[in-house]
Structure 1
Amino acid sequence: MRPKTKKILSIYTFIMFLFFYVPILVLMVYSFNDSKTGTTWTGFTFEWYAQLFSNGQILSATKNSLFIAIVTTVISALIGTLAALALHRYDFPGKKLFDFLFYIPVVIPHVVVAVALLSLYGWMDVTLGTTTVIPGHVALTTSYVIFVVMARLVRFDSSIEEAAKDLGANGWHTFWRVTFPLIFPAILAGSLLVFTISLDEFNISYFTAGPGSNTLPVLVYSMVRQGISPEINALSTIMILLIVIGVIAAGKGMGSSNKSR
């Protein structure tokens, strides 16, 4: 690569990183701003973090979002992993149709899924609450797990399983001792993606959550309409830090898993 080209690419990369991360850094800095308006810097304070942890409405919405995201992640990871294994290993009638159908949740507008679920709940006379949000999130995110695990299975060496069976392992032990450890990084990556999407999902939560079952995105939307509160900056900062820590921990776990093999 010529030095001039390398320099241009370096500058372009630097500008792109600024574009993505400067707004996040500004948000984090202003979470310590003493001003209530959040537009001018007047001093350093932890007041908004103290108010955040004493705000029952935000804590309740956080609890709801985490509950929905965790349950959605577990269900989607289970269904997605089993579906990926079935699609990769077996031939059955309608396989191509099922393979196609799993692409639809990825490309369909989320608001369409939300309205469809709301109509279904109305037809079934279901009372809306926190749990009625979960089916929509699962329907939306399971495909992501399937795609990530399928990408790993394409490069999977099936001779390892055959060797385990030749050594006397049955199907159950082969899966848990050989197959699962090898595809676990893909399952973990898909699960992290599902957790992030579920935690951030607005449309389905807005349409299918009942009274008193607000999630964080819905609550933040209602708060932002009245102006940007410093508490939102504090909440966003905490969420960013937790996600970064989670990604780093998952990356180290996947790295140590690969080294052990």
Structure 2
Amino acid sequence: MPPLIFSLQLAFTLAVCAFLIVPVVLSVLAGLTVNYFVGLESGLTLKWVIEVWNGYRDTLFRSVGIALACLALTLVLGVPAAYALARAKSRLGRAFEELLMLPVAVPGLATALALIASYGALSGFRTSWAFILVGHALFTLPFMLRAVLAVLSAIDLKTLEEGAASLGAGPWQRFVHIVLPNCRDGILAGSLMVLTLSMGEFNLTWLLHTPLTKTLPVGLADAYASLRLEVGSAYTLLFFLMIVPLLLAMQALARPRRRRFIPADDTDLAPLALKP
């Protein structure tokens, strides 16, 4: 590659990175400065972070809890649904798949209004965090479904299952030992999207929450609207501190597993078997 073209590509990449990263850095610095309008000359402080932690830490833990519950719910519903759709390659299956994609196409506010109209009369349910969880699950389920379905559609699932069935594996054994290991990458990709989308979801949550069930994005919006800019920026900093470890953990799980060749049986002269 000519040096000029490489230099231009590098400069463009650095410009894009700066465009994306600089606002984040400035927001973090705003939450650590004594007075944002004066700048760093006013000094650095953790006062705003401590103030946000003391006043809003319940929203942080609630958001993490809802995100993890949403992940569990989408795994239980999305993976079997993707498996069923991968096996049922028919017009009805494709129509059902498109039906499951509707929550993504419909605005979040419309979905929230539909949930309120349907279940708003259930006072105990309406005022609990489970009501927000249902909205998040509706919104994130298509992302889990699509990620897993894309992986299952790329492999010869029928042949693998037929081979396992010929060795005596039942439906449950085939699902656990054949389907799940082969769609591991899709499950991890879907899990990453579900966690990040649930943690940052605002439109649905804005209508579904109550004063006692605020989540992190709602509290962040309140902080920016009604408090000092430094408080809102400190809230953003805490958001990063909560979400980044989750993302790093998911990325670590998504790394390919190392495999090595070992003899299938020390007393057998059979060829080497591939084992994890």
Percent identical residues: 26
2:99 corresponding residue in structure 1: 101
Distance 1:96 1:176, change over 3 A: closer
Contact 2:147–2:187 (CA under 8 A) maintained in structure 1: yes
Conserved in 2, the CA contact under 8 Å of 1:68 and 1:198? yes
SS state at 2:45 partner:
coil
Larger displacement relative to structure 2 (151-160 or 195-204): 151-160
Does 2:240 correspond to 1:255? Answer: no
Determine the structure 2 residue equivalent to 1:134. 133
What is the deviation of 1:140?
Answer: 0.8
1:6 maps to 6
Tell whether the 8 Å contact from 1:145 to 1:194 is kept in structure 2 after alignment.
yes
Structure 1 unmatched ranges of 5 or more: none
Q: How far 1:240 sits from its partner (Å)?
A: 1.9
Q: How many residues align?
A: 258
> What's the offset of the Cα at 1:124?
5.7
Match of 2:109 among 104, 108, 111: 111
Q: Which has the larger radius of gyration?
A: 2
Contact between 2:216 and 2:239, CA under 8 Å: does it hold in 1?
A: no
CA deviation digits over 1:24-47, x for unaligned, max 9?
A: 112223332122x46522112222
How far apart are 1:149 and its partner, in Å?
0.5
Deviations 1:128-160 (A, max 9, x none): 332211111111110000110111112223334
Matches within 5 A, 1:28-177: 28-35=28-35, 37=36, 40-41=39-40, 42-55=42-55, 58-91=56-89, 94-122=92-120, 127-158=126-157, 159-177=159-177
TM-score by length of 2: 0.83
Partner secondary structure for residue 54 of structure 1: helix
Quick check: 1:181 aligned with 2:177?
Answer: no
- CA displacement, residues 45-77 of structure 1 (integer Å, 9 cap, x when unaligned): 22233333322xx11212222222121111112
Q: Contact conserved, 2:60 with 2:239, CA < 8 A, in 1?
A: no
Partner of residue 226, structure 1: 226
In structure 2, do the counterparts of structure 1 residues 115 and 142 end up closer, same or farther at CA, with 3 Å as the change threshold? same
Gaps of 5+ in 2: 261-275
Report the Cα distance in structure 2 between the residues aligned to 1:196 and 1:100, rounded to whole angstroms.
23
Task: Return closer, same or farther for 1:212/1:205 CA change in 2, 3 Å cut-off.
Answer: same
SS at match of 1:257: coil
**1:204 lines up with 2:204 in the alignment:** yes
CA distance in 1, matches of 2:244, 2:78: 25
Counterpart amino acid of 2:70? T
Letter of the 2:61 counterpart: K
Instruction: Give 1:258 deviation, angstroms.
Output: 6.1
How far apart, in 2, do the equivalents of 1:199 and 1:109 lie?
Answer: 18
Q: TM-score of the superposition, structure 1-length normalised?
A: 0.87
